């Protein structure tokens, strides 16, 4: 079995693979103060409660955008699961041509998502929209070239910014509103966030196809915690929740 880990700013996702099949996905809040023992006991407990033997894990891979947790996480894996994780970072084999001014600046999660997407759609131009703490879009050509992308505030950041930067607005639940406008302050914020985000993604994808892929078709993939919120809006050709975890598995195979 292979364990893959995706450390995000808000939460950390785990995927357990048997062969090519992800047989278990689970998640916990990212906590920079968690000790290696706390993390190790958590991992063993979740695996045991779901009927899996941690001793059958052969490899562990990780991508992390929170460097402060990496040391503790690596120690937890080594002590409680018997393997040190491979971290996606500059210098590892990715199978991608990184057309970036400074490849070391590319987030590990972006590289993993690109690797996972290329494995699912080989030979296709790809637009990968990751809707997590930040909303990112990355572009990968049909020749496996990582071209770059965009980064903008995610839905949660936007809600917190409105609540924290204004006197009369409060935090609201992130959800698809009933109408395109709101008849209350809460509904107005929800409509603004939902349709504003959807509109910006649609416009970016239009511009990417026109100006980057020069009119060629591109597969638009949605991933991240908020991607399902837009499932009915038809923003994406495919939603793949565990895309980064699949990319981490691909990295283990290449390295």
pLDDT confidence tier of residue 74, bands split at 50, 70 and 90: very high
Return the pLDDT at 85.
96
The strands making up 134-140's β-sheet, listed across from edge to edge, are 97-98, 145-153, 134-140, 126-131, 219-223, 238-239
Most distant CA pair in the chain, distance = 56
Tokens 């929209």 — which residue?
129
pLDDT confidence tier of residue 168, bands split at 50, 70 and 90: confident
pLDDT tens sequence across 12-56: 999 999 998 999 999 999 999 999 999 999 999 999 999 999 999
Could you list the active site residues? 109
Going along the chain from its start, the domains and CATH numbers come out as 2-87 (3.30.420.40), 97-107+123-243 (3.30.420.40)
% of the chain beyond a pLDDT of 70: 100
pTM reported for the whole predicted model: 0.90
For 74-89, what is the mean pLDDT?
A: 96
pLDDT tens sequence across 185-225: 899 999 999 999 999 999 999 999 999 999 999 999 999 98
pLDDT confidence tier of residue 103, bands split at 50, 70 and 90: confident
Tokens 């923003």 — which residue?
235
């Amino acid at each position: 079995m292979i364990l893959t880990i995706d450390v995000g700013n808000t939460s950390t996702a785990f995927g357990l693979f048997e062969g090519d099949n992800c047989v278990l996905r689970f998640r916990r809040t990212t906590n920079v103060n968690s000790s290696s023992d706390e993390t190790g006991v958590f991992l063993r407990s979740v695996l045991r409660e779901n009927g899996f033997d941690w001793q059958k894990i052969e490899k562990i891979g990780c991508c992390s955008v929170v460097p402060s947790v990496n040391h503790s996480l690596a120690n937890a894996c080594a002590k409680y699961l018997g393997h040190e994780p491979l971290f996606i970072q500059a210098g590892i084999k990715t199978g991608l041509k990184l057309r970036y001014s400074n490849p070391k600046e590319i987030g590990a999660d972006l590289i993993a998502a690109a690797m996972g997407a290329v494995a699912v759609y080989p030979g296709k131009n790809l637009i990968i929209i990751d809707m997590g703490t930040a909303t990112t879009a990355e572009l990968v050509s049909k020749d496996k070239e990582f071209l770059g992308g965009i980064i903008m505030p995610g839905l949660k950041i936007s809600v917190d910014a409105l609540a924290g930067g204004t006197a009369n607005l409060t935090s609201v639940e992130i959800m698809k509103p009933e109408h395109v406008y709101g008849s209350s302050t809460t509904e107005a914020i929800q409509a603004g966030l939902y349709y504003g985000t959807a509109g910006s993604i649609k416009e970016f994808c239009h511009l990417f196809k026109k100006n980057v892929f020069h009119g060629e078709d591109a597969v638009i993939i949605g991933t991240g915690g908020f991607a399902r919120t837009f499932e009915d809006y038809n923003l994406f050709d495919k939603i793949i929740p565990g895309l980064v975890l699949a990319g981490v598995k691909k990295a283990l195979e290449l390295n």
